[in-house]
Amino acid sequence: MASTMMALVKTEHKRGAELREVPKPVVGPNDVLIKVKASTVCGTDLHIYEWNEWAEERLGRRIPQTMGHEFSGIVAEVGSQVKRVQPGDFVSAETHIPCTKCVQCLTGQMHICSQLTILGVDTNGSFAEFVSVPELVVWKNDPKIPYHVAAAQEPLGNSVYATLVEPVHAKSVLIYGDGPTGLFAAGVAKVSGASRIYLVGMSPMRLEIGKKMGADLVLNAAERKTEERIMDETHGVGVDVVLDMVGRQSVLDEGLKLVRKGGRYSAFGLPDGRLSVDMNNGIIFKGLRLYGINGRIMYETWLQVSNLLASGRLDITPVITHLMPLQRFSEGFDLISQAEPQAGKIAFVFE
């Protein structure tokens, strides 16, 4: 095998990235080298591509570094200590790499490990011909799942965790955010038996996809009718469940108003900074159950994701609007970096 490969590398402290010939990853005794088949683009990748403040702070001293973290591929090589997978296996990987030593890791909460390393953020990532990850995070895929769908299991896992942290069957669910995780959440709520699904977003194109995913009513936030429409729909009671896939003051305020007393609020979207909250009326008097959703439970969420996809019950392909070779990366990033994004999820696909 050649010792170099093509990779999309963040090279400079400004917008953009560069397709470069780089050394193939070194495979340590506990590592698995994977030939990437598909790698999907995440909001995090966009932040790194655009190079915002967070990116400078987190990656400023690390670059040049290969981007990307959501992927699927075929095991090419395994380290001497690897036992669970072998060359030829079709796999994806949890992108939050736990330390295995902290209190959380030791008590079944690896997804909130206190020393998490993130693939493609703290390490070289998957927008490349090959990626190397520790055996611990490798997840074997059902061969029935297409490459580009299997690549999106990581963000789909966020949606599954946010949606199903409590059962949703026969419940009304209000989803904020028409990005991929919000759109996936509509599909997850649908196949899990939610009685009514409302989706609030900003992009008419993505809201259309939301309908295909199972949203019964889509609302454009720009029209500022959400409060009125939801209260009307629920006869003044409010919804059973709010999934906040955005993380913004206006969404928090409205979501806490629209969730019914005794309801549940899943907070997944990350705000830029501190938000203020109406503790009395939004949480305490409501008897609200508020869940912070970080990553995916390892590996309960992955099993749920696999089951939903392999059974064919959940189809996420309407959300994955673009498949393209890595060479067309700048076109891909342009589609999603506009004020009104022109794509759902983008997948880079490899030969």
* Catalytic residue list: 44, 47
Residue 105 binding Zn ion, by CB under 5 A: yes
Residue 98 binding Zn ion, by CB under 5 A: yes
* Pairwise CA distance, residues 313 & 325, whole Å: 28
Inter-axis angle of helices 180-191 and 204-213, nearest 10: 20
105 vs 131, beta carbon nearer Zn ion: 105
Residue 121 binding Zn ion, by CB under 5 A: no
Among 19, 46, 85, 102, binds Zn ion (CB under 5 A): 102
- Residues in region 68-87 near Zn ion by CB under 5 A: 70
120 vs 214, beta carbon nearer Zn ion: 120
- Which amino acid, one-letter code, is at 129? E
217-220: strand order across its sheet: 217-220, 196-201, 172-176, 239-244, 259-267, 289-292
Residue of 244, 250, 241 whose CA lies nearest to 289: 241
* Pairwise CA distance, residues 118 & 133, whole Å: 11
- Residues in region 9-48 near Zn ion by CB under 5 A: 42
* Binding map of Zn ion across residues 148-187, x = CB under 5 A, - = no contact: -------x--------------------------------
- Residues in region 218-247 near Zn ion by CB under 5 A: none
Among 113, 160, 288, 336, binds Zn ion (CB under 5 A): 113
118 vs 191, beta carbon nearer Zn ion: 118
Coil/strand/helix, residue 130: strand
What DSSP assignment string belongs to 53-82?
A: HHHHHHHTTT-SEE---EEEEEEEEE-TT-
- Which amino acid, one-letter code, is at 120? G
* Pairwise CA distance, residues 304 & 301, whole Å: 5
Query: From the CB of 120, what's the least distance to Zn ion, in Å?
Result: 8
Number of residues engaging Zn ion in binding (CB under 5 A):
8
The stretch near Zn ion (CB under 5 A) out of 71-79, 105-113, 118-126, 322-330 is 105-113
Token representation of residue 32: 């698995």
Query: From the CB of 258, what's the least distance to Zn ion, in Å?
Result: 27
* Binding map of Zn ion across residues 283-322, x = CB under 5 A, - = no contact: ----------------------------------------
Token representation of residue 250: 């206006």
Burial of 20 (0-12, 13-18, 19+ CB in 10 A): middle
CA dihedral (140, 46, 221, 285) in degrees, to 10, reads 60
DSSP structural state of residue 337: H
75 vs 105, beta carbon nearer Zn ion: 105
70 vs 77, beta carbon nearer Zn ion: 70
Assign residue 266 a region (left: φ > 0; alpha: ψ between -120 and 50; beta: otherwise): beta
78 vs 110, beta carbon nearer Zn ion: 110
51 vs 71, beta carbon nearer Zn ion: 71
Other C-beta atoms closer than 10 Å to the C-beta of 111 total: 22
Query: From the CB of 115, what's the least distance to Zn ion, in Å?
Result: 5
Query: From the CB of 110, what's the least distance to Zn ion, in Å?
Result: 6
The stretch near Zn ion (CB under 5 A) out of 111-119, 179-187, 206-214, 262-270 is 111-119
List of residues contacting Zn ion (CB under 5 A): 42, 70, 98-99, 102, 105, 113, 155
